[in-house]
Every structure is written in C-alpha cells, then in structure tokens.
Amino acid sequence: MRYIRLLILYAQDVIEYRSLAVVWFFASLINPLLFLFFWKGAIADNNPTGFSSVSDVYSYYFLFLILSGFLMVHIEHEVAYWDIKEGGLTKYILKPLPYITSKFFLEVTWRIAMGLIALAATMILIMLFGQLFTISLTPVQIILVILTSLLALMVSFVFKMIIGLTALWVVDFEGIEQFVFMLTLLFSGFVVPLDMFPQYLRTIATFLPIPYTIYYPVRMFQGKLTLEQSLSVIGIQILWLFILSIGYKAIWNRGVKRFTGVGL
Amino acid sequence: MKRYLRVYIKLIYLNAAALIVYPANFYNSLLASLGWGFFSLYSVVLLTAQTKGAFGWSREEILLLNGVYGIIIGIFHTVFSRNFGRFSKVVHRGQLDSVLMKPIDSQYLLSLWEFGWVSISRVLMALGYVVIVSRSLAIQTKLVDVFLFLIVGVCGILLLYSMWYIVITFTIWFTRLSNLVDLMFNITGIARYPRSMFAQSAGFAFWFLFPLLLIINIPTKVYLRRIDLGEIVLLISIAILFFFVSRVFWKFALRHYTSASS
C-alpha cells in the first residue's frame, strides 16, 4: 500500500513539472525523426543493407522512441546534484525506506509519464500519416517482451544509480554524466541498430549492460529475435541485474560514509 | 566598444584561472567534451556507413557537412552555450537583478560571462576530421575560399546564437523550463543534415526549419565550391535580422521580469 502512495505522491511531482516533461519529449523526438528521414531518402536512393524496408525503419525508430520513454532512466542527475551536492540525501537517510526504493518509485513515475507521452505522439502520427508499421507477436513473444522490458528498466535504473553515486567521490559530476550519456546513446542503438555496427564496436557492446536496457527490448518488440535469442537476452539481463545490484550495495555502503549534508 | 572588448578579455582570463584552480573539473569536462565531439562525428559515420549518399550529396560530402557542423558548433560551445546553460538558473534564482544593475549591456554579459575553454578540443577534433574528409574529396583550398568560409561561418554562428537567445529568453516568463537548453541542443543537431533531406521529408516543417538549415549547409557549400551568391546574401541577411529580433525580444522580455527574492 505504501508503494502505491509513493507512486501517487511522485505522480503529483510529474504533474507539477508537466511542462518540463513535454519539453523533454520534444527533445527526444527530434533525433529519431532525423534518422528516419535520412533512411527514407537513403533507401529511395541506394537501397542500402541493414534495414529491409521503410516500414522496418519506422518500426525500429518509433519503438525506440516509445521504449526509451519507458526505459531510459535519468536518475543519475537527481542523485548527484540534488541529493549529494545539494544535501537532499539527508532526508532519504532519515526515512524508514531504503534510498534506492524511494528513487525507484520516483523514476518509475517519470518513465510511465514519458512513455505514455511517446506512445500518444506515435498514435497521433499514425493517425495523421496512416499505418507506418505493423508488429505481429505471438502470446509467448508478448510475455517475453514484457519480461525483458521490466528487467531492462531495472538494469538501467541500478546502472544509473551507481553512476549517480560516483558524485560522492568526484567534485565535478558533469563530465562523467555526459560521458556515460554519450556511451548510452551509442550502445543502446540510438543511431543505428547494433547489427549495423562495425565488428569491434559490437564486441565492446557485448561486455556492457547498455544494449540490454533498450536495444534488445526494441528488437524483441520488432520480432527480430528467435525464442532462443530472447531467452538468452533475458538470462544476460538477470546476470547484469545481479552484478550491478552487488556493485550498488558495495558503493552505497562505502559512499554513504563520505556524505556530508552541510547547512541543513 | 573598447570597454566591452576589455571586459571580454578579462572574462576569458578569469575563466582560464578557474580552469587552473580546479584541474579535476578541467579533466572531467575535457572527457565529456571529447566524448560528445567523437559521438557527434562518429554517429554520422555510422549512419552513412552502408550508403553511397543521399539527397544529392555523396557520403563524403555528408561527412564533410558533419565536420563543418563540428567546427561551428564547437566554436558556439566555446563562446556561448555554457552561458545559455546557466541562463534559467540566473533568472529562476533572481540573479538577473545583479546583471541588470551593472553598467554594461545585459545581453552582452549574459551571453559571454563564461568561456568554454575545454570546447576548443571539439573544434580541433572537428578540424582534423574535416582535413581527413577533404583529402578523400580532393578539395584544393584557396585563400579566398577560406576567407569566404570564415564570413559565412561567422554569420552562421551569429544566426545560431540569435535563435538560441530568442528561445532562451522565454525563461523570463517560464522560469522552470530549465531544459529548454537541452531542446535547443537537439534542435541544433538538425543543421548537420542536407537541406534537401527536409525539403523531401519534413513537409511544411521545412519552412519553419529553413533558417537553421542555412547555418551549416551554406558554409559547407562554400567549402565545396558550390558557391551561390544569393544563398550567401540570404544567410547574412537572416543572421542580421535574427540578431536584431533577439535584441528587441530581450528588451521586451525584460519589461516582464519580476525578479525573485530581492
């Protein structure tokens, strides 16, 4: 029950900052649209490999847009600046609820809002421009997509919490934040699907949790992965969640001893 | 004019001093700047890896367009973007009061207070990239081309600055919209694609984006020696017009500034 209360409380927060959410959405809409325009023209001119058709391009970038709304966590900024630098962590330490739980519900509320805005925008575009793409999934695939998306959200969340906590050690967090965001965009398949990466980048990607936070859920949603590949992705997500959770606990236990809330 | 120049030199010097005092911040910012510089250039390499070209531009020409974008946006980041980043904070926390009290133009001070030394690395990276791409295009550059490129490049930066200033001025009314800067970063990214791409795909939005699409496309065309005098005049005229609008709009917005906490 208290978790539902938390969700309602944070939903009020999202509603209060709704104008920010809308601006965030428009900012996130621009690049997928640019890539889409580019591929449409490139396919018309040269028939490049990688995407089989314009519909394939539409489904990739629109699903990426929707799923990044639901799954691309940005909690590290709040953790580093508001909680660690500005001292807001103090109030969380005093609460009878783990810090990570409070932050998880806050982020989930934002993700639901951003995902729904992206979904609504896609629906409007489909209504305006006709059926842009089709998705046909079996009931088993639907269950796997839901499962992988939930795991992706959790992997992404714990990963970004760890990044946020590094602010306990570094004075200027902006560099790390920007660098990790750049890596996230690159290895989440934001520009092109990982299949179209050169081999060395694909090899690097296999050692990172980032592709498992958005890219593979998108590919599963598109129906591009076989049952075996989908189960393998879910297995790796569970492994990453386990590794990152242990990492988070170790960093939190050591880092919280360094925290000083000045002037509170 | 001399006084303004003296103030700017002093500001550049103070920003350099801050960089030396906090070396960890410098390395951190350098990491981010180089990371974004690399991503910005490499993302188009990835995007075009499996195409020979599109929209009447060869792959190498699209890469060059992206390199020119890297140079212009790098200079923009060095001189202006950090200032736009602090704009909403200055307005939201009422710090604009102290800016307005100073015996110097407020738009000038708000636009040039911070100097992003670190972003020079992005300009250098983009310059290296342009040199490499130019070799594959076998472009022979003459002094007059460089001069013309500099003129249109400066006009492009002026146009970009004015567009950003007009949009960011809205924070006078909507002080919570701190992420307008992020929106502008994304919108600016539109400029690194061929103009014909939007003419084909963006419908009526093309006309809305038209000024933005001049900023990089025209300097790149000048560099490629596809010089069109009409387009150069158009860029110069639109840059001056937008700068004038940004001044008028800022002065209008200041009449609605209600301050905070002072």
Quote the CA–CA distance of A149 and A141 in Å, as a whole number.
Answer: 12
User: Is there a domain that residue A260 lies in?
Assistant: no
Give pLDDT, residue A46: 67
User: Is there a domain that residue B61 lies in?
Assistant: yes
Q: Do B54 and A17 touch (CB under 8 A)?
A: no
> Are B107 and B162 contacting, i.e. CB atoms less than 8 angstroms apart?
no
User: Is there a domain that residue B260 lies in?
Assistant: no
| Tokens 């140079």 found at | B71
Q: Rounded to the nearest 10 degrees, what angle do helices A18-46 and A99-129 cross at?
A: 50
User: Is there a domain that residue B49 lies in?
Assistant: yes
Give pLDDT, residue A49: 62
CA B125 vs. chain centroid, Å, equals 16
The number of folded domains in chain B is 1
> Are A216 and A148 contacting, i.e. CB atoms less than 8 angstroms apart?
yes
**Tens-place pLDDT, residues B171-203:** 998 877 777 888 898 899 999 999 888 887 767
User: Is there a domain that residue A169 lies in?
Assistant: yes
Give pLDDT, residue B262: 55
Quote the CA–CA distance of A259 and B193 in Å, as a whole number.
Answer: 46
User: Is there a domain that residue A198 lies in?
Assistant: yes
Domain of B153 in residue numbering reads as 2-254
pLDDT at A264 over 60: no
User: Is there a domain that residue B259 lies in?
Assistant: no
Give pLDDT, residue A171: 75
Residues 38-67 on A with a CB inside 8 Å of B are: 38, 40-42, 44-46, 48-50
User: Is there a domain that residue A262 lies in?
Assistant: no
pLDDT at A263 over 70: no
Residue B36, chain A, CB below 8 Å: the answer is yes
Rg (C-alpha) for chain A, rounded Å, is 19
Please classify residue A264 by burial: count the beta carbons closer than 10 Å to its beta carbon, then call 0-12 exposed, 13-18 middle and 19+ buried: exposed
Quote the CA–CA distance of A144 and A154 in Å, as a whole number.
Answer: 15
CA B54 vs. chain centroid, Å, equals 25
Q: Do A31 and B189 touch (CB under 8 A)?
A: yes
Q: Do B32 and A178 touch (CB under 8 A)?
A: yes
Give pLDDT, residue B67: 95
pLDDT at A236 over 60: yes
pLDDT at A134 over 70: yes
**Tens-place pLDDT, residues A87-107:** 889 988 888 889 999 999 999
pLDDT at A162 over 70: yes
Quote the CA–CA distance of B106 and B90 in Å, as a whole number.
Answer: 12
Residues 11-30 on B with a CB inside 8 Å of A are: 22, 24-25, 27-30
How would residue B56 be classed by pLDDT, with cut points 50, 70 and 90?
Answer: confident
User: Is there a domain that residue A264 lies in?
Assistant: no
Residue A186, chain B, CB below 8 Å: the answer is yes
Quote the CA–CA distance of A122 and B55 in Å, as a whole number.
Answer: 26
Compute the average pLDDT of residues B243-248.
Answer: 97
Give pLDDT, residue B226: 83
Domain of A86 in residue numbering reads as 2-253
Determine the residue type at B67.
Answer: G
pLDDT at B253 over 90: yes
How would residue B206 be classed by pLDDT, with cut points 50, 70 and 90?
Answer: confident
Which residues partner with B53 through β-bridges? B58
How would residue A145 be classed by pLDDT, with cut points 50, 70 and 90?
Answer: very high
| Lowest-confidence segment of A164-168, A243-247, B113-117, B255-259 by average pLDDT | B255-259
**Tens-place pLDDT, residues B18-52:** 888 888 778 888 888 888 889 989 999 998 888 88
Q: How far is B48 from chain A (nearest CA, A)?
A: 9
Compute the average pLDDT of residues B101-122.
Answer: 93
What mean pLDDT value characterizes chain B? Answer: 89
Q: Do B201 and A196 touch (CB under 8 A)?
A: no
**Range list of H helices, A17-170:** 18-46, 54-71, 75-77, 89-94, 99-129, 139-165
Compute the average pLDDT of residues B123-145.
Answer: 89
Identify all chain B residues contacting A177, using CB atoms and an 8 Å cutoff: 32
The number of folded domains in chain A is 1
Give pLDDT, residue B127: 94
pLDDT at A48 over 70: no
Q: In the structure encoding, which two tokens stand for residue B158, read together? A: 């002026």
Quote the CA–CA distance of B82 and A231 in Å, as a whole number.
Answer: 45
Compute the average pLDDT of residues B219-238.
Answer: 90
User: Is there a domain that residue A258 lies in?
Assistant: no
Quote the CA–CA distance of A204 and B211 in Å, as a whole number.
Answer: 39
Give pLDDT, residue A57: 87
Give pLDDT, residue A247: 97
Give pLDDT, residue A262: 64
Rg (C-alpha) for chain B, rounded Å, is 19
Identify all chain B residues contacting A171, using CB atoms and an 8 Å cutoff: 22, 24-25
Averaging pLDDT over each range in A26-35, A170-179, A196-205, B222-231, which range is the top one? A196-205
Q: What is the DSSP letter of A169?
A: T
User: Is there a domain that residue A35 lies in?
Assistant: yes
Residue A34, chain B, CB below 8 Å: the answer is yes
Compute the average pLDDT of residues B80-90.
Answer: 89
pLDDT at B204 over 80: no
Cα→Cα distances B71→B112, B142, B239, Å: 19, 19, 18
How would residue B214 be classed by pLDDT, with cut points 50, 70 and 90?
Answer: very high
DSSP letters spanning B119-156: GHHHHHHHHHHHHHHHHHHT----HHHHHHHHHHHHHH
Please name the helix (run of DSSP H) or strand (run of DSSP E) that holds residue B53, with its range, or none. strand B53-54
Q: Between residues A45 and A64, which one has the greater pLDDT?
A: A64
Chains A and B form CB pairs within 8 A to the count of 119
The ipTM assigned to this model is: 0.82
Compute the average pLDDT of residues A167-195.
Answer: 89
User: Is there a domain that residue B262 lies in?
Assistant: no
| Tokens 């490139």 found at | A42
User: Is there a domain that residue B114 lies in?
Assistant: yes
Q: Do A48 and B177 touch (CB under 8 A)?
A: no
Identify all chain A residues contacting B177, using CB atoms and an 8 Å cutoff: 19-20, 23
Chain B residue at shortest CA distance from A51 = B50
Share of chain B above pLDDT 90, in %: 53
**Tens-place pLDDT, residues B161-174:** 999 999 999 999 88
Give pLDDT, residue B218: 93
Nearest residue to A77 via CA among A203, A163, A172, A185: A163
Compute the average pLDDT of residues B129-144.
Answer: 87
| Lowest-confidence segment of A182-191, B21-30, B240-249 by average pLDDT | B21-30
User: Is there a domain that residue A240 lies in?
Assistant: yes
Chain A residue at shortest CA distance from B29 = A175
In chain B, count H helices and then E strands.
12, 2
Cα→Cα distances A168→A73, A84, A117, B112, Å: 20, 7, 34, 31
